[in-house]
Chains A and B, each alone.
Chain A
C-alpha cells in the first residue's frame, strides 16, 4: 500500500489505489467549505475591515486608553508603507507579476534568438550578394577585353594579308627579272 500523499492542504491522493471519484468529492467539499466570493473582486487596501480602517475607528475611541492608542498610531504612521507591504497581500501580487514577467521574458528570449538567427542569415546573404556582384564585374571586364583583343587580331590579320600580297608581287617581279637576265646572258 502506498502512503497517501497530501497534495495541498486538504486534497489527499492515494496513488496506489487512485480513485478519481474520491478526488472530485474532495474538490467539491473544498469548494463548498470555502466562502463564496467573486473571483474578480479583490480587497482594496485601506477599505472596510482592513487594518487602516480599524485604525480610523480606534482614533475615535475616548479615554486614556484611546488617547494612548491614538498617539501610538500617529507615531507609526510614517512607517505605514512598510507595514502595508508586510501585512497586505502585496507579496502574492508580486509573485503573480513576477510569474507573468518570467513568461514574457521567456518569449522575448525566443524572439531574440529568432532575431539573431535572422540577422546572421541576412549577413551571409549580403556577403554572397557582394561576391556575386564582383564576379559579374570581372566577367564584364573579361568580355570587354576579349572583344578588344579579337579586334586587334582581325586588324593584324588584315595587315599580314596585305603584306603577303605585296611579297607575292615582289616575288613575281623578281622571277620575271631573273628570266630576262638569263635570256640576256645566254643570247
Chain B
C-alpha cells in the first residue's frame, strides 16, 4: 500500500515522543512491504521550528521523506503570551486559526504538496493533533485519513478548531486506553474506527551492566531518569524531591540521561551522563534500582516501557494516567503525587529487592503482551484494511 504520513518534524536526530513513534512505525511498516512517504518540514527544533534540514526528497531506512521549509520561525515568548490569552478569554474562530499559525510549523508548501499529490496515495496518516500541518492537512485531503493524536489532557483541547481536527479523520487511533477515554469524553468519535495501537518495544537479550557502571564510575544504587531533561517533563520537581530525599537518606544517586534543556544544580549525588547510545541506555536502565517518570503530560512514555523491558520497575506521577495505567495493568511499578509518597515509594524500592524483582518480571511480561512488534503491526494492518475497504 502507498501510505502518506504527515508530521511536523522527522529525522534521526529528532527525539520528541510522537516524532520517534512516527519514525519507528514508518520504518517497521516499510520493512513489511508498505511504501511509506513522510511529509514533513525542514525543522529540527520544536521550540523555534528553525529550518535545519535541506528541503526536498531523501530516504531513511526505506522510508521516503519529503521536506518543506517553514516560512515563519516561532517566537516562543510571544506565542506563550498569546496562548495564555486565548485559553483564558472569549475569542473568535479567526483568532484560533491565528493561534494555529503561531503554533506552527507554518508551512503552506507542505499543504499544497499534499493537495497536489493526493492521488498517489491510498490514504493519509496524521501524527499529533496539535500542529498547523495536521489541521490544514486534514482539511485539504479528501481521501481516507487516520489520526494518531498523541494527546494529553491539556488546554489546547478546549479550542473549537480541535473539534474540526477530530471530525475530519475516518479513524482515530491512540497510544493508551487512558488517552482513548479522555478524547472520547471530550469529542464525538462514535462513528469512527478506533483502536489502541501502542508501540513495539525492542527487548534486549542482554545488557552490559558492569561495563556501564565501570565506564561512568557509578557504584552506588541509583534512581534513573531518561528523556528530555526540562521543566515541562517534571524534572525540576524531581530534582527538588531527590535533594530532599538525599538529605534524609543519603547514599542513593540520581542519574539523568538524555538532552539537557534546563539547569541542573551542582550536587554530589546528581549525575548527568549526556545522551547515551542505545546499548548504554539499556544498560543504564537495567542496572538502576528504579526508573522515575515525573512528567505530568505523557501519552505513552517510551522510556517507561524500555525500563520494563529490561526488568526495572517504574516510579511515576499519579496524575499522569497513561503512566499509572502501565503500573496498574502490568503490576510493575508504584506512583506518587507528593513528596511523602515519593519518599515512601523509594524507601520500599531500596529496601525490598524481592519486590523490585517481582515488579520487574511483571513489567517484562506486560511489555511482551501489549508492546511486542508483531502485535502492533497486526493492529496497523487491521486499520489499513478498514481504511481501504471503507473508501467509496
Closest approach, in angstroms, between the C-beta of B117 and any C-beta of chain A?
Answer: 49
List chain B residues, Cβ under 8 A from A23. 334, 348
B327 touches A27 (CB 8 A): no
Q: Evaluate whether A103 and B328 lie within 8 angstroms (CB atoms) in the complex, with A13-B352, A23-B348 already known.
A: no
Q: Evaluate whether A24 and B220 lie within 8 angstroms (CB atoms) in the complex, with A11-B348, A13-B355, A31-B340 already known.
A: no
B331 touches A18 (CB 8 A): yes
A20 touches B332 (CB 8 A): yes
Residue of A7, A28, A110 near B348 (CB, 8 A) is A7
Asked if B263 is at the interface (CB within 8 A of a chain A CB), the reply is: no
Asked if B369 is at the interface (CB within 8 A of a chain A CB), the reply is: no
- A-contact 0/1 string along B327-346, CB 8 Å cutoff: 11001111100011100110
- A-contact 0/1 string along B189-210, CB 8 Å cutoff: 0000000000000000000000
Closest approach, in angstroms, between the C-beta of B150 and any C-beta of chain A?
Answer: 26
A window 33-51: CB within 8 A of B: 39-40
Asked if B244 is at the interface (CB within 8 A of a chain A CB), the reply is: yes
A20 touches B327 (CB 8 A): yes
CA distance A20 to B341 in the complex (A): 14
Find the A residue at minimum CB distance from B330: A20
List chain B residues, Cβ under 8 A from A107. 219
> Which of B244, B345, B348 has the most chain A CB atoms closer than 10 A to its own CB?
B348
Residue of B247, B341, B362 near A31 (CB, 8 A) is B341
List chain B residues, Cβ under 8 A from A5. 354
List chain B residues, Cβ under 8 A from A178. none
CA distance A7 to B359 in the complex (A): 16
B335 touches A24 (CB 8 A): yes
Asked if A19 is at the interface (CB within 8 A of a chain B CB), the reply is: yes
Closest approach, in angstroms, between the C-beta of B149 and any C-beta of chain A?
Answer: 28
Asked if B154 is at the interface (CB within 8 A of a chain A CB), the reply is: no
CA distance A100 to B220 in the complex (A): 11
Kindly state the interface size class of chain A when it binds its partner: 20 to 34
CA distance A100 to B354 in the complex (A): 25
List chain A residues, Cβ under 8 A from B355. 7, 13, 15, 18
Asked if B90 is at the interface (CB within 8 A of a chain A CB), the reply is: no
Find the B residue at minimum CB distance from A103: B251
Closest approach, in angstroms, between the C-beta of B356 and any C-beta of chain A?
Answer: 11
CA distance A23 to B250 in the complex (A): 24
Asked if A144 is at the interface (CB within 8 A of a chain B CB), the reply is: no
Asked if A149 is at the interface (CB within 8 A of a chain B CB), the reply is: no
Asked if B358 is at the interface (CB within 8 A of a chain A CB), the reply is: yes
List chain A residues, Cβ under 8 A from B217. 110
Asked if B248 is at the interface (CB within 8 A of a chain A CB), the reply is: yes
B window 337-392: CB within 8 A of A: 339-341, 344-345, 348, 351-352, 354-355, 358-359, 362
Asked if A168 is at the interface (CB within 8 A of a chain B CB), the reply is: no
B362 touches A106 (CB 8 A): no
28 contacts between A and B (CB under 8 A): A5-B354, A7-B348, A7-B351, A8-B348, A8-B351, A11-B348, A13-B355, A15-B358, A18-B359, A18-B362, A19-B331, A20-B328, A20-B334, A20-B359, A21-B328, A24-B335, A27-B345, A28-B341, A39-B244, A39-B248, A96-B249, A96-B250, A100-B250, A103-B220, A103-B250, A106-B219, A107-B219, A110-B219
